[in-house]
Copies of this chain bind each other. A is one copy, B any other.
Amino acid sequence: MNNPTKQQAITTTDKIFEQMQSAIVEGDIPAGSKISEPELSKKYQVSRSTLREALNRLEKCHLIERKANVGSRVVECTIQGLLEIYIVREALEGMACRQAAQNMTDDEIQQMKAILEQHAQAKDLQDGVAYYQEEGDLDFHYKVILGSHNNELINILCGQLYHLVRMYRCQFGMNSPRATRAFDEHSRIIEAIADRDGELAEMLMRRHIAASRKNIENKIALKQQKEQA
């Protein structure tokens, strides 16, 4: 797994955290399920202290929720929750894009263009479509966020929301027919960044994310119509 936010695991807590993170993202530990500290500390062969430390980190990236004297639950994957994240991403990644247009070095911009070239080639291959949608899309957004050179933005988007987004993608199976259109949108965003046009870059990124959101909203609406019929 190509996880760009992964720092080298040092302590055992790091390892448990990563294992549980993947398990939750991929649904092996089901969304909404209760977390039993004794059970999991036995399963992963660590003490409860170590496990609790890992739980704290999972809470930091919004993958679990804790209540005092009651315990932890994995977050639910609800439509409302997904839409709420899109709203936050629209605001933050839009701003990150504006900052990127202002702060990215020429080298960084060149690298982004190279990545997009790579995606373009993968896109032509039929079996590359899936790749582009999954890792490729996240990769693009990730690079833009880093390009903002704003540590607070980077921390929130890459450190906290990133895995929650991945979780929704995994569990809702987001293989939308937006692949080629998304690619074009990415191209225009990079152009705006290269032109150092922050205002346009932000607008394009916001529309790009809002389009994904509306795509989902439409899907839901259709689904509900079918259910009524």
Chain A residues with a Cβ under 8 A of chain B: 10-11, 14, 49, 52-53, 56, 59-60, 62, 68-69, 81, 84-85, 87-88, 90-92, 94-95, 99, 150-153, 155-156, 160
Contact = CB atoms under 8 A, between A and B. Distances in A.
Nearest to A155: B62
Contacts of A150: 84, 87-88
Contacts of A90: 95
Given A87-B153, A88-B153, A88-B156, 4 more contacts: A14-B68, A88-B152, A91-B92, A91-B94
A10 B69 CA distance: 9
Question: Per DSSP, are chain A's interface residues mostly helix, strand or loop, or mixed?
Answer: helix
A87 B68 contact: no
A10 B91 contact: no
Contact of A87 (B59, B62, B99): B99
Given A10-B68, A69-B11, A92 B99 contact: no
A95 B206 CA distance: 11
A97 to B, nearest CB: 10
B84 A153 contact: yes
A152 B85 contact: yes
Nearest to A86: B152
A47 to B, nearest CB: 11
Contacts of A60: 59-60
Contact of A91 (B49, B68, B91): B91
Contact of A68 (B11, B49, B152, B156): B11
> Which of A53, A94, A156 has the largest count of B CB atoms less than 10 A from its CB?
A156
Nearest to A160: B156
> Which of A88, A94, A150 has the largest count of B CB atoms less than 10 A from its CB?
A88
